[in-house]
Amino acid sequence: MLDHIEIHDMKQSFLDFYEKAAGAEVNPEERWKLWQEYYGFAAVPPGTEGEKLARQLLDNCWEQYEQHIDDIISWNPDQAAIKDKLGEVKQVLGFNDDITLLLLFFVGNFEGNAFIAPTEEGNIALCFPIETQSYRDSEILLLHELAHVVHSHKADHSAGWERSIASVIIQEGIAMHTSKVLAPGRKLVEYIGNDDQWLTLCNEKELEILSGAIPFLEKSDSESVFRFTVGEGICGFQNEAYFIGWKLVEHLLENGMSLSDLAGFHERELPGFVATHLNQYIESKWSDYVCQDI
């Protein structure tokens, strides 16, 4: 296997910012300007909303950096282990071609938010936070993001922020279920990347969330993607696309499809495919409820 992984580490840029901003005399506004000048990297959407969110995240988590600064300083990447994980993901998703990947490590805001993005050279960058992740958490997160990388290569998907809501749902569903296959035995919320309360609330509104997403499946504008990921979705919960993706891919796997099959659909096919199978899933759930009532 001739996969090529290039490592880019933003740790030192963060430490340069932190050294200048850690003084007691630096107020939040000055700290934000130093962050923009010396670091300026966060796991947020592009544009004005993303910039506002980056400022909010920095202010909210600033005091946590002191508790973890020694871990940040001592962190180093394990390139061999990452290449092994990439090979495992390729096997699950049925992709055999070589992959060139830029793996960018950054100091995030303690939200555990990794993501992929296109590079200027036409490859994919996997951007991965290093500030607090334990090995167990990092393994699931890394598998999840590597699944996005392999999926994008196999189906020629865009790695950019703007893509159809149907694509977001399938991408996240495949990534979550791939991490479950390769790191079995964890709690469900570990694969989904949220907490028990969020999952309980989403389950209570399951049919409303799923049916409410159907009119948006073809939308690919930044506002719609924000709504179903970082924003408040249909029922007021963040990451509703993840919940839908988990449920839909689980349903498809139970009905005979494989993760390799699902990873082969091109983006243009996904709005119709997702609409068809979401409607089937919703109908089956309604039938279950009716039978229970009888």
Of 5-9, 21-25, 63-67, minimum mean pLDDT range: 21-25
| pLDDT of 47 | 84
This prediction has a pTM of 0.88
| pLDDT of 290 | 44
Q: For 86-144, how does the pLDDT look when each residue is reduced to its tens digit (9 = 90+)? A: 999 999 999 999 999 999 999 999 988 889 888 888 788 999 999 875 545 688 999 99
Q: What are the extents of the domains in the chain?
A: 4-155, 165-293
| pLDDT of 291 | 45
Percent of the chain with pLDDT over 90: 75
Average confidence score pLDDT of the chain: 91
DSSP-assigned letters across all residues of the chain: ---EEEEEE-HHHHHHHHHHH-STT--HHHHHHHHHHHT---S--SSHHHHHHHHHHHHHHHHHHHHHHHHHHH----HHHHHHHHHHHHHHHT--S--EEEEEEE---SS---EEEE-TTSSEEEEEE-SS--HHHHHHHHHHHHHHHHHHHHHT---SS---HHHHHHHHHHHHHHHHHHS-SS-HHHHHTS-HHHHHHHHHTHHHHHHHHGGGTT--SHHHHHHHTTS-TTTT-TTHHHHHHHHHHHHHHHTT--HHHHTT--GGGHHHHHHHHHHHHHHHHHHHHHHHH-
Q: For 61-97, how does the pLDDT look when each residue is reduced to its tens digit (9 = 90+)? A: 999 999 999 989 998 888 888 899 999 999 999 999 9
